[in-house]
Amino acid sequence: MARVVSYCVKLAVQFQSRVTQVLLKNSSNQTVRTQTWTYDAASNVLTHTTGGVQTSYGYDDIDQLVSESRNGYSASYAYDANGNRLTRTVNSVTEDYVYDDADKLLEVNVGQQTVKEFTYDSAGRTTAVETSAGTTSLTYDYESRVTGITYPSQSTNSFTYNGLDTRVGMTDSGGSKTFLRDGVSVTSPVLLDGSADYTPAISERRSSTTTFYHAGIKNGDSQTSTGQSVTGSIQHDAFGNVASSSGTWSGPFAYGGPYGYQSDPDSGLKLLGHRYYDPSTGRFLTRDPVKDGRNWYGYCGSAALVRTDPTGTVTLVFNGTKLKWFRDDGTLVDSVPAFSGAPGKGRRDQGQRGGPIPEGTYSIDPNEDQYATYNIFAYPWAGYPPSPAWGDRRIPLKGGPDVPGRTGGYFLHGGEFVGSIGCIDIGPNDIKIIDKLGKLTKKIKLVVDYMDWNGTVPSSDNNKPVKWKEYLQQRQ
């Protein structure tokens, strides 16, 4: 532990890498606070106990949160087939949600009264929220970034961004802030904002006062001083609404704080990388830029207790036989068959001539989406003539090492035959997948992990390549 921290945090972890206990101890090794968690077989949190108070959670068959309860508090949720929240009942008060056919939330009603109404522009962005207090309006730039908020009182917030969509400036009721980050991307942690200096997920310093953050498995929930006394504590429901608090909480990093979520005090919204999230509705204000999956406004697949979505974007994972497309909250968006390497090659052959792409982390620039051309090096191991081995679309993969016979970089591409020397071949799915990647505006991370791959690239009896059409027919 770094000596600057007056407290020590001790973690107990199950063999599935799930945290089961967090002990917060002071410099005298006395336990100040104990938190414990239990889980079901799907790693959903069943109970969370802190300060002697236990909160219990229930889920449906697809792991959507349907209930949470503790002494004096109960909440239940119901959803439609597209993952839209239909009802939210808190301590016997029920909110009903009304949507259009494009999953845009139109109204929130309590009994016969409409308590919130929402307006959208042609791009599906929330432009106005009307309540009994009046109308709150939002403006956006061409990248769908929130640039301004005007409240019923006519007070305003304004926001500025760098070229990578990272928020670098903000003016609200507390004044103007300029954010300095440890990097330039939306997930780069904030180091200072003009009001405080931050050690990400550990502490903040304002003037001469240092405050330390303490968290559970997702949220910052208590703060202590250098004198080792608790100065503020806060408890959220699963979707980020404040359920209870005591003392004074300092700074924007509470719900999802360890993951870089920033809570804006005036609006109550939370900035999750590229998009703003509204905890009162459990939804983003704007659509997922990928426009894929069953719900483009949804947050964490309605499993918000343990999942996070720090950027609102995607990660690709290649495991030797499939290419999987995940949102940052862990939601699986798509999965297609995929292979890398010459026929008969497997994970043991990575780094060798004809082997699969080496394990590691790569990046994809959507601006490099290409229409494929004939590859004169197509299937040289089988004596095949030049053929459209790239398929219809291809896109470069950056960051990998050179290997024997592979000095021109790597690609994600399609093709007629299964397999590719070093590249990742997704066969007839190249148009679908690469077209979607090409429509994104941010670089995408691709992780190659062969931990569970023990087979080889499909081949015929004489070790020649198999056509994708034949391979897919055999799997039906």
For residue range 363-410, list pLDDT tens digits in order: 898 888 777 544 433 444 444 444 456 788 889 998 876 665 555 678
Q: Residues 6 or more apart from 324 whose CB is under 8 A from it?
A: 316, 317, 318, 332, 334, 335
More confident residue, 188 or 318: 318
Closest CA to 413 of 474, 361, 368: 368
Give tens-digit pLDDT for 222-238: 888 888 888 888 888 99
Instruction: State how far the Cα of 174 lies from the Cα of 163, in Å rounded to an integer.
Output: 25
The C-alpha atoms of residue 369 and residue 430 are separated, in whole angstroms, by: 11
Predicted confidence band of residue 208 (pLDDT cuts 50, 70, 90): confident
Unique residue bearing structure tokens 């409240």: 151
3-state secondary structure of 397: strand
Domains observed in the chain: 71-302 (no CATH), 314-475 (2.40.440.10)
What average pLDDT does the chain have? 84
Q: How much is the pLDDT for 328?
A: 62
Structure confidence at residue 201 (pLDDT): 80
Each residue's pLDDT tens digit, 125-158: 999 999 999 999 999 998 889 999 999 999 999 9
In three-state secondary structure terms, 258 is helix
Element (H, E) at 64: none
Contact 403, 352 (CB under 8 A): yes
3-state secondary structure at position 435: helix
Cβ–Cβ under 8 Å, residues 69 and 63 = no
Tens of pLDDT, residues 327-366? 665 556 678 899 999 999 999 998 888 899 998 888 898 8
The pLDDT assigned to 386 comes to 40
Is 97's pLDDT higher than 50? yes
Determine the pLDDT at residue 365: 87
C-alpha dist (Å) from residue 449 to 262, 410, 413, 443: 32, 16, 18, 19
Q: Strands 105-110 and 262-263: what pairing?
A: unpaired
Q: What is the mean pLDDT of residues 257-278?
A: 90
pLDDT classification of 54: cutoffs 50, 70, 90: very high
Measured CA to CA in angstroms, residue 276 lies from 64, 186, 262, 263, 438 at distances of 21, 12, 10, 10, 23
pLDDT given at position 276: 94
The confidence score (pLDDT) of residue 114 equals 98
CB under 8 Å to 420, separation ≥6 — which residues? 339, 340, 341, 389, 411, 413
Confidence of residue 5 (pLDDT cuts 50, 70, 90): very low
pLDDT in the model for residue 384: 41
Q: What is the full DSSP assignment across 175-212?
A: EEEE-EESSSSTTSPEEE-SS-EEETTTEEEETTEEEE
The pLDDT of residue 213 is 78
The pTM of this model reads 0.67
What is the structure's pLDDT at 29?
Answer: 87
The amino acid sitting at 260 is: G
Confidence at residue 367, expressed as pLDDT on a 0 to 100 scale: 81
Give pLDDT tens digits for 110-119. 999 999 999 9
